[in-house]
Chain A
Amino acid sequence: KAGVTQTPRYLIKTRGQQVTLSCSPISGHRSVSWYQQTPGQGLQFLFEYFSETQRNKGNFPGRFSGRQFSNSRSEMNVSTLELGDSALYLCASSLGTSGRAPETQYFGPGTRLLVL
């Protein structure tokens, strides 16, 4: 089974621009979560989508948004880019079923965004 894929892998933008990142989950997975990773802040949760609906949200400004399509693929968008948005953006997928134990999240390789 193919793993989680993310495109593009690398991206360079300038301040004020906007960017869209894409994530294709493992086949059959309905939950997609997005994380931002920086050296200073570590791995921070952005949001989670399940069945095309945002199910959980982290503490990021409204410039960060996302969506999920009917095939579970997800995109995240960052508008009005700032220098501090330079980071590795990771996407993780899981089945999305609720149970007693947290589900295992399967991470993609990430998109490395550099804002100049």
Chain B
Amino acid sequence: LAKTTQPISMDSYEGQEVNITCSHNNIATNDYITWYQQFPSQGPRFIIQGYKTKVTNEVASLFIPADRKSSTLSLPRVSLSDTAVYYCLVPMNRDDKIIFGKGTRLHILP
């Protein structure tokens, strides 16, 4: 079963690009990688999902190397409002049940 590991916390400054890496050494062949964002006292919100190479949307980019054992969420030019917890999720079983780990607490400084 794929287990994800990501940094517990990160600090960055406004205007910087932030990269959060998640390792998932045991990812299964058919597993997708999904990232969610959670602000305090709110439910998580879907950011991006990918299977291989690179995916980009209006919010972020997701880079997945060929071996798919890790992935990197890239947030371009962050602002204070990007302060949140970011979760990297990989399905934990064949039912595609998604399990949230502890996430990465990103703190953006002015």
Contacts and interface: CB of A to CB of B under 8 A. Distances in A.
A22 to B, nearest CB: 15
Interface size class of B (residues with CB under 8 A): 20 to 34
Contacts of A4: 43
Interface string A87-113: 010111000001011101111111010
A35 interface: yes
Contact of A92 (B32, B43, B97, B102): B43
A64 interface: no
Contacts of B102: 42
Q: Is the interface of A mostly helix, strand, loop or mixed?
A: strand
Interface in B39-87: 41-46, 49, 51, 87
A110 B39 CA distance: 12
A53 interface: no
B46 to A, nearest CB: 4
B54 to A, nearest CB: 16
A113 to B, nearest CB: 13
Q: Chain A interface residue count: which class? A: 20 to 34
Contacts of A56: 95, 97
Contacts of A44: 100
9 contacts: A42-B100, A42-B102, A55-B95, A101-B32, A102-B34, A102-B91, A102-B98, A105-B44, A107-B43
Interface of B: 30, 32, 34, 38, 41-46, 49, 51, 87, 89, 91, 95-103
